[in-house]
Amino acid sequence: MTLLILALGCGGDPPSKPPPTTTAPAPVPTTTTPPRPAAPARILGPQELSDATVRLRGDATTRCVGANIAGAGDTDGDGIDDLLIGARCDALGGSGSGRAWLVPGGLDPGEHALLDVASGSLSGTEPQQAVGWFLDGAGDLDGDGLHDIVVGAPSSVSELSGFVGVIYGPLTDDRPLDQADAVLLGPSGGGAGRVVGDLDLTGDNNADLVISDAQYFLPPADPVSSTVWIIGDAPVGDVDLDTSAVARVIDQGTAYLGSRLAGGGDLDGDGVDDLILSSWQNLAYTLSGPLSGDLSLDDATSSLVVPDLGDVQPSFTGAVLSVGGGGDGDGDGKDDMLVAQAYISYVRDGRAWIVRDPQGTGLDIEVYAIASLIGETESWAGDSLAWLGDLDGDGFDDLAVGAPRHTHNGLDAGAVHLLYGPLQGQIALADSDAVFFGEGTSDMAGAVANVGDLDGDTWPDLAVGALSWGQGDDHPGAVYVVLPSAL
């Protein structure tokens, strides 16, 4: 007989496994982004620059502070944009040697001596070097999270070449421009130094620099030859423009091509920035990015012809055209081009045009423009102009037009016209939404630029340069900062 024996544990059922222990996950810290403050109310009607939130004044040691200004971006990492101020006729390094200052954003309201609040400066070292005549924020060239700046010296007399200095932000000392972190050297016999930064013309999502030499004499000597260089990498040390450029625009027939230049933003909506160039032949050109190699004006996407209604400099056909870009004034999602001629007639009223996505050559700007701005008598309207961004939060970018010879507060006191988008049709600048008047005779208030957010409220602000502000023969100059949220 076979016995079947079953072994049973005590108590009947086998013991069960204890349930696994679990540790509750640590709570994930939450960060709440504060809501953006409401947009400031529109500024309307006549305004006095004497009532500006901030005035930065030059002193007895400076000349023509505010002849040129530019937005530097956030160079020191405090979350507030900074301001570049140029004085091309400053005499620290000799007559007309020039100087440029970097001023941190977030200034207290009121009047400040520029030399007391600037974090650093760059100066010329020889007469007529004109440091600060052209200057701009460069974006973040070296990828360290801080914005950089670029300053030109287009009239380097001793070398007859011109050069550009790059400072990797921040700038915290006073030094000659030729001791910048990088020095971009133009060819002998020219005047490289006109510059624009913080744009991507190569399509690699990195900031590029554009430098022009509207006086470059290519061999054999040709007094109307010009070269524009696109620098695509962060330069270090002394750099030759011809060998380091990722693209060049070379022209031997157009008078002073690149006498003014601007980043157009994305004019054609293809996702890559575009370049705007002007000449002294009443012509403005666009070149659509990405750009590479050696190019000529045959590669231009468009050329626009500005009417010549009589020029006060009869040795030239037409006069210098101011150009600008990087703003959408009609809300179509594409950036719009700005072209202006302050000397459009013998009485120098000035005219400006807004152009949408120009395509083709020989375009009559009077026909092709979506808006035409008419200056007041002898005001030189358009000598400086800039898209400011969307000041009032309505989805349209807004425009500032400088008129340095405006006479409301005295001969050549100057003014700046403010126009809120959308903009179209013919607009008399006398009917601008707001006009900021210079303080007094000969101040020549009118230099403008897109300076970004100078007070940290997330909305764009307005800065105005008045190169001849101040009493006496020296005219040290001043820059006004208008904070719409403070008005």
Q: Is residue 17 part of a domain?
A: no
**How many folded domains does the chain comprise?**
1
DSSP bridge partners of 303: 285
Q: Which residues contact 426 (CB under 8 A, 6 or more apart)?
A: 371, 372, 374
Residue 280 has a pLDDT of: 78
Is residue 197 situated within a structural domain?
yes
CA dist., res. 215 & res. 427, Å (int): 35
The answer, yes or no, to whether residue 430 has pLDDT greater than 80, is yes
Is residue 60 scored above 80 in pLDDT?
Answer: yes
Kindly report, residue by residue over 155-175, the tens digit of the pLDDT: 765 555 789 999 999 999 999
Mean of the pLDDT values across residues 135-139?
97
**pLDDT tens digits along 291-300:** 999 999 999 9
Instruction: Kindly report the average pLDDT of the chain as a whole number.
Output: 88
pLDDT of residue 7: 36
Res. 214: pLDDT tops 90: no
pLDDT at 220: 45
Determine the pLDDT at residue 270: 95
Judge whether residue 8 has pLDDT over 50.
Answer: no
Q: Strands 283-288, 302-305: parallel, antiparallel or unpaired by DSSP?
A: antiparallel
pLDDT confidence band for 66 (50 / 70 / 90): very high
Interval 234-287: pLDDT, tens: 999 999 999 999 999 998 776 678 889 999 999 999 999 999 999 877 899 999
Q: What is the predicted pLDDT for the residue at 29?
A: 62
Predicted TM-score of the model (pTM): 0.90
Q: Is residue 423, in this structure, part of any structural domain at all?
A: yes
Residue 97 has pLDDT above 70, yes or no: yes
Q: How many Å apart are CA 349 and CA 388, to the nearest integer?
A: 23
Q: Is the pLDDT of residue 389 over 90?
A: yes
How confident is residue 186, by pLDDT bands cut at 50, 70 and 90? confident
- pLDDT greater than 80 at residue 43: yes
What is residue 313's predicted lDDT score, i.e. its pLDDT? 47
Give the model's pLDDT for residue 26: 66
Give the pLDDT band (50/70/90) at residue 184: very high
Question: DSSP labels for 210-250?
Answer: EEEETT--PSSP-TT-EEEEEE-S---EEEEHHHH-SEEEE
pLDDT of residue 168: 98
At a CB cut-off of 8 Å and minimum separation 6, what does 176 contact? Answer: 93, 122, 123, 124, 125
- 210-to-98, 223, 249 alpha-carbon distances in Å: 21, 21, 10
pLDDT of the residue at 24:
62
Binning pLDDT at 50, 70 and 90, where does residue 321 land? confident
Amino acid at 67: A
Residue 8 located in a structural domain: no
Q: What is the pLDDT of residue 33?
A: 73
> Does any domain span residue 31?
no
Residue 91 lies in a domain: yes
**Sheet strand arrangement including 135-139:** 135-139, 148-153, 163-167, 182-185, 237-240
Q: What is the mean pLDDT of residues 112-140?
A: 95
Token digits of residue 52 = 């500006």
In a domain, 3, yes or no: no
Q: What is the CATH number of the domain that holds 98?
A: 2.130.10.130
Residue 7 lies in a domain: no
212 lies in which domain range? 69-486
